[in-house]
């Protein structure tokens, strides 16, 4: 697979299906809601062996594919927000008056990497109100405490995102951390219309920007839910996949060498985005924020 | 070659060189300044036949290739600004106290299409001062009158750019119009490091956005200089070019059909940009603005 | 009163009421809708004498005061949008398949001056679709043709806004021009919660930015509806008004001289804005756009 | 003086001078560099008594007043950057290979509050390079490690800025923290042309936004240098000061009551900014960044 990269567990799975390989330790459930046109795929990586094969940690990876997600339609997005909220409440053992810290990863200056900061900007933040006036200050009997941070990227801060989040988590002591990030997909068809939710957090090499140390229960000492939307495909991936069809008749060894040669190094610093990426980014982040707002609307378990 | 597209006359020329075809009616001069590392190519399309072969109107196309253009280095950019100013003053028959209208084409909301609006935002605008206080108001003996407009794109305005520019030109009666636009290149290597200057204006199908009616002496009744920088490569072009190498042994007819099939339609609404496109756009537009500012710094011929 | 300035006819009228002066040639109607909490004041300046007294041209000035306008509440804004649409359809003799040109005045780089550009960015633009596919292309039996332009301000363009609009209007030949602008109010209480609609267009000295030549039927040869929202109060105005209370006991002559002296010249280049001006600007422009979208939703008279 | 507020120690001092009161425990040094047109005032609050009188903590407050700071002139700003660097190196006991954390306070969405985030965006960040490649990675024999954070404001994060900074400082263990913030001044003349540097950090009630818990050696366990530029004047302050002149003849008791009454409560949520605040903000932040870049250019003591 070499340098060709996807952040979607769904796409890692598909790769094996193409090769007609079955992977032990990986359980897959699919569901299609025709009325809403949402396809849900749950990939559970249950063993160390499965994790190795899939190239990502053990845990649950939920993918919502909603082709119309990138189309402006307020009501439809509401459906997606609700689906997202539902899955969040299943992944997180919701209890009364939870303390939730949301991290908006990525670089707000680069549009396809700005999903995290954009999501956070739409969130209903409550922690400071609850601390000042109590849960009653929210006009509710119970209320989750929601705080958020946009840490920036290493080139801006000089710090690993993980260092910043760990320091802040030490102060805030959240029950759960939710990390939002823009992802790289392998298929152009999935850009801006797929949401991945996982209880494994964010792992190294994810995202549009540079590699980073993982945000997960191991590094932060608290459960980390990762929510991501693929917003880019590597230019190299696109060339790779187009050519792979052609090469089906060549020998394996030749094929690999050939592909490595054919992809110009300059392609690795490019990315491919839909032409309407700026508008799309706004809509997507709104949908995700609403999903989180719904999930934590009231402080009840 | 169908849907594969470049806005650079230089690249259209290279296509013929690859095919070892000589084109009558097209004269080419090349020059390389080693100290400044600027390669200048002047393509003159002198006959109707040459225009047909090259797929663009008769006229002069000057291309400056400056590999370091996308690197932040204030002094180097100054060199490019000067080169640009020099070519501008050759293409335009500069006379005393000229009236210059600069049009910043493109959509300011989409980063790789925002070159035109960005260039205009750095320009030294003088027309309103000269009209209020005379040339003396500029503290000079003579001064060119510079005005500018960012017309927006058709989806925003409902109007052809040409309609807007023609209406405004009717009021302002400029001696020359300069139109700045982001271009599509064919080679990833040229992104953000190439400036094309042409006395043919902007012709239909140029630019990152949708097709539009040409801005040129024919439609506007005044000379139009087009200045463009390639900021994107079609994703389809990248796949096409990578595969072309591979296909060199196939027959021509097979090849064409094959290529058309291999490129997924979804690629045509994608574009490829360098990952640092936002920063680059700011620097580039500054360099071009400075070139124009230098060209029209004093009102002398 | 010299330099103290308001763009609201409503406030000019109040000035006279304070002084218990009745003005011939000015007719005023007031209406308060308690359910919607919208106060509507229609000021009709019917004679040259009235125009002189009020310091603005003859015509109709409708002011909607909606205290909750600056509060985020989607449904309420819908009410305002509908009110605005209703008044638009009364001021403009609506006929079938009208040709409407909307001008977004102001400087998009300066938040309290960006109302016009923001409104335009939310508008439903139809002219290019109707020209390409006919009214049927809109999926309706009849449809108004809506186009728009953001001309920029003179410091950016070197041109009078009026020159640009006149040139474009010459090409587009609209039945009516609608010009949106940010206004200066005299009362802090009116900021961001008042909409003025007038059939006199935009007259010199209006707006947050510099003086400009009027956009009206006289200069453009077509009816111009001005829509404005006060987004700033001159700092000098605030000081003036606070002190005026104090000065009630002084003689008129003393008072005038005193006020002129008390207001530091440096205040004239300041303005006063609410602290949440950036968010407010987004909401306001959305409400106005929706009002226009409603007014021109179908192409019927 | 109640609600009338300034963040500049210089202005607190002037207040006493107006009243011809001398304050024990406060030492003042003034210096004017005519060539550079920079006035430097050092206010040292040396006793608890002085702190009480001045309404701010013991420590050193350096104010640079440079009238041309808000004028675009690259060379001049270089002078200010150097002055700032000089004072920084005096306030901080510079040692070899220091670890510096820069905090950009304020809300990047509100222009006059965006100084901190803007400054940070121009900083030369080195910590991640030094950690990856050692000081040699910087191409120097010794190098300071510079990291930065834009924490956002409480309404966005739900957290006290102090909580976030304390958590991150716990991870990064800086030798010194530098906190940049937009300030409120009392005099319109000082807006955007004054820089205050203090070793007391940022104290509650400072800044354009809401009150916050102080960032200082007491709360963070490490020296905190505060750098601020006044970008706003409270509207209420402007009215207050204009009227104060008038009231000089009234009795003290009457005066106080009168002033409280005259200032409308609605003024307290307004602020006053120069009309060119957006451009000014960019230039100012660049100058401060350059000052910090110079101060920490090499890792030497």
For B96, B104, B214, the CA distances from B93, given in Å and listed in that order, are 10, 22, 22
Reported as a pLDDT band with limits 50, 70 and 90, residue D259 is low
pLDDT at D1 over 50: no
Å from C86 to nearest chain D CA?
Answer: 32
On the question of pLDDT at A210 being above 50, the answer is no
pLDDT for B79 equals: 83
pLDDT at B74: 56
**Confidence class of residue C1 from pLDDT cuts 50, 70 and 90?**
very low
Identify the burial level of D8 via C-beta atoms within 10 angstroms of its C-beta, where 0-12 means exposed, 13-18 middle and 19 or more buried.
Answer: buried
Beta strands A223-234 and B224-234, pairing class:
unpaired
Mean pLDDT of B5-32: 84
pLDDT at B181: 92
Average pLDDT over residues B218-239: 88
Average pLDDT rounded to a whole number, residues B146-165: 94
| Contacts of residue C136, Cβ cutoff 8 Å, sequence gap at least 6 | none
Candidates D155, D158, D172; nearest CB to A163: D172
Query: Over chain C, what is the mean pLDDT?
Result: 83
Tokens of C154: 């003179």
Q: Which of B148, B160, B166 faces C156 most closely, judged by CB atoms?
A: B148
**What is the distance between the alpha carbons of residues D221 and D165, in angstroms, rounded to a whole number?**
11
pLDDT at residue B72, as a whole number? 66
- Name which of B92-106, C152-166, D268-282 the model is least confident about: D268-282
Q: Do D and C share at least 3 CB pairs under 8 Å?
A: yes
- The pLDDT assigned to D210 comes to 46
Residue A59 backbone phi and psi in degrees, to 5: 150, -170
Please tell me what DSSP assigns to residue D242.
H
Q: Is residue B4 within 8 angstroms of chain A, CB to CB?
A: no
d(CA B5, CA B233): 9
D292: pLDDT strictly greater than 60: yes
Q: What angle do CA D39, D51, D202 make, to 5 degrees?
A: 70
pLDDT digits (tens, 9 = 90+) for D137-171: 777 777 889 999 999 999 899 999 999 999 999 99
Those residues with Cβ within 8 angstroms of residue D208's Cβ, 6 or more apart along the chain or in another chain: C275, D106, D107, D110, D112, D113, D182, D183, D184, D231, D232, D271
Q: Is the pLDDT of residue D215 over 80?
A: yes
Q: Which of A211, A254, A261, A266 is nearest to A240 (CA)?
A: A261
Judged by a CB distance cut-off of 8 A, whether residue B29 touches chain C is: no
Give pLDDT, residue C218: 93
Residues of C in contact with B128 (CB under 8 A): 154-155, 157-160
Nearest to D105 by CA among D188, D204, D243: D204
Exposed / middle / buried, residue D19 (Cβ in 10 Å: 0-12, 13-18, 19+): exposed
Q: How far is CA D80 from CA C118, D66, D68, D117, D207, in A?
A: 37, 8, 10, 20, 22
User: In this structure, are residues D3 and D23 in contact, taking their beta carbons and an 8 Å threshold?
Assistant: no
pLDDT at B210 over 50: no
What six digits make up the tokens of D166?
A: 């304390």
Mutate to test the interface with B, among C117, C149, C153, C177 (most CBs of B within 10 A): C149
Helix (H) or strand (E) holding A194: strand A194-198
Residue (of D108, D132, D103, D128) closest to D118 by Cα position: D108
Report how far residue A236's alpha carbon sits from residue A234's, in angstroms, rounded to the nearest whole number.
5
pLDDT reading at D130 higher than 50: yes
Q: How far is A156 from chain D (nearest CA, A)?
A: 7
- Considering A282-296, C120-134, D32-46, the range whose residues carry the highest mean pLDDT is D32-46
The residue written with tokens 């169908």 in the block is B2
Model confidence over B46-73: pLDDT tens digits? Answer: 999 999 999 899 999 999 998 877 776 6
CA nearest neighbour of D187 among D7, D1, D23? D7
Quickly state the pLDDT bin for C285 (edges 50, 70, 90).
confident
* Interface touch D155/A121, C-beta < 8 Å: no
Whether residue C208 contacts residue C231, with contact meaning beta carbons closer than 8 Å, is answered with yes
Residue B3 is predicted with a pLDDT of 42
Supply angle C-alpha D124, D128, D130, rounded to 5: 90
Model confidence band, residue A3 (pLDDT cutoffs 50, 70, 90): very low
Across A26-35, A206-215, D120-129, the highest mean pLDDT is recorded for: A26-35
Please, what's the largest Cα pairwise distance for chain D? 69
The pLDDT assigned to C78 comes to 78
The dihedral over CA atoms of B217, B219, B221, B223, expressed in degrees to the nearest 10, equals -20
Residue from C185, C210, C270 to probe the interface with D (highest D Cβ count within 10 Å): C270
B130 or A246: which leads in pLDDT: B130
Least confident range of A120-134, B177-191, B279-293? B279-293
Exposed (0-12), middle (13-18) or buried (19+): which is C131, by Cβ within 10 Å?
middle
Nearest to D238 among C110, C267, C269 (CB): C267
pLDDT in tens, C18-57: 666 778 899 999 999 998 899 999 999 999 999 999 989 9
What's the gap between Cα B111 and its chain centre? 16
Name chain C contacts of B146, Cβ cutoff 8 Å: 158
Q: In the predicted model, what is the mean pLDDT of residues A118-132?
A: 89
Mean pLDDT of B25-51: 94
Whether ipTM tops 0.85, in short, is no
Most confident of B155-159, C5-9, C183-187: B155-159
Token output for A73: 């339609």
C-alpha distance from residue D147 to each of A160, A164, D85, D152 (Å): 10, 11, 17, 16
Facing residues of A63 across strands?
A: A41, A196
Is the dihedral angle over the CA atoms A103, A108, A110, A116 positive or is it negative? positive
- B4 Cβ neighbours under 8 A, 6+ residues apart: B186, B234, B236, B237, B240
C267 and chain D: CB distance < 8 Å anywhere?
yes
Residue A191 region by backbone torsions, left for phi larger than 0, else alpha for psi between -120 and 50, else beta: beta
Burial D261-288 (b: 16+ CB within 10 A, else e): ebbbeebeebbbbbbebbebbebbbbbb
Secondary structure string (H, E, C) spanning A206-234:
CCCCCCCCCECHHHHCCEEEEEEEEEEEE
**Distances from the Cα of B37 to the Cαs of A277, B40, B69, B79, C82, in angstroms?**
35, 10, 10, 10, 62
Find tokens 């939730």 and name the residue. A100
Looking at CA atoms only, how far is residue B248 from chain C in angstroms? 42
Residue B235: per-residue pLDDT: 79
Q: Do C163 and B149 touch (CB under 8 A)?
A: no
Nearest CA in chain A to B191: A270
Mean pLDDT (chain D, rounded):
83
Of C127, C151, C159, the CB nearest to B158: C127
Summarize pLDDT for C247-263 with one digit per residue, the tens. 666 666 676 676 666 66
Dist. CA D37–CA A25, nearest whole Å: 73
pLDDT band at C4 (very low <50, low <70, confident <90, very high): low
Confidence grade of residue A82 (pLDDT, cut at 50, 70, 90): confident
Whether the pLDDT of residue D208 is over 80: the answer is: no
Average of per-residue pLDDT values in chain B:
83
pLDDT bin (cut points 50, 70, 90) of residue B256 is low
Residues of B in contact with C171 (CB under 8 A): 159, 163-164, 166-167
Which pLDDT value is given to residue B28? 93
**For residue D232, is pLDDT > 90?**
no
Using DSSP, state whether D100 is helix, strand or coil. Answer: strand
CA dist., res. A131 & res. A145, Å (int): 9
């Amino acid at each position: 697979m070499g340098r060709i990269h996807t952040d979607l567990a769904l796409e890692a799975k598909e790769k094996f299906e193409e090769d007609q390989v079955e992977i032990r330790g990986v359980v897959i459930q699919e569901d299609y809601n025709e009325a809403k046109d949402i396809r849900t795929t749950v990939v559970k990586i249950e063993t160390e062996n499965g994790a190795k094969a899939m190239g990502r940690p053990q845990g649950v990876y939920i993918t919502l594919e909603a082709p119309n997600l990138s189309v402006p339609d307020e009501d439809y997005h509401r459906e997606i927000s609700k689906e997202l909220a539902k899955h969040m409440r299943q992944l997180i053992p919701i209890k009364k008056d939870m303390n939730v810290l949301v991290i908006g990863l990525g670089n707000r200056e680069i549009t396809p990497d700005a999903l995290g900061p954009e999501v956070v900007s739409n969130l209903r933040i409550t922690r400071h109100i609850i601390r000042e006036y109590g849960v009653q200050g929210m006009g509710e009997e119970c209320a989750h405490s929601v705080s958020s941070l946009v840490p920036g990227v290493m080139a801006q801060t000089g710090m690993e995102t993980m260092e910043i989040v760990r320091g802040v988590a030490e102060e805030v002591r959240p029950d759960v951390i939710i990390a939002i990030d823009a992802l790289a997909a392998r298929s152009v068809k999935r850009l801006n219309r797929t949401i991945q939710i996982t209880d494994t957090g964010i792992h190294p090499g994810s995202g549009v920007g540079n590699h980073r140390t993982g945000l997960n229960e191991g590094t932060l000492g608290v459960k980390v839910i990762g929510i991501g939307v693929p917003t880019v495909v590597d230019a190299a991936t696109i060339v790779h996949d187009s050519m792979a069809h052609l090469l089906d008749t060549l020998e394996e060894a030749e094929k690999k060498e050939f592909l490595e040669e054919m992809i110009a190094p300059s392609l690795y610093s490019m990315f491919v985005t839909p032409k309407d990426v700026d508008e799309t980014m706004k809509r997507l982040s709104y949908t995700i924020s609403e999903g989180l707002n719904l999930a934590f609307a009231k402080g009840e378990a």
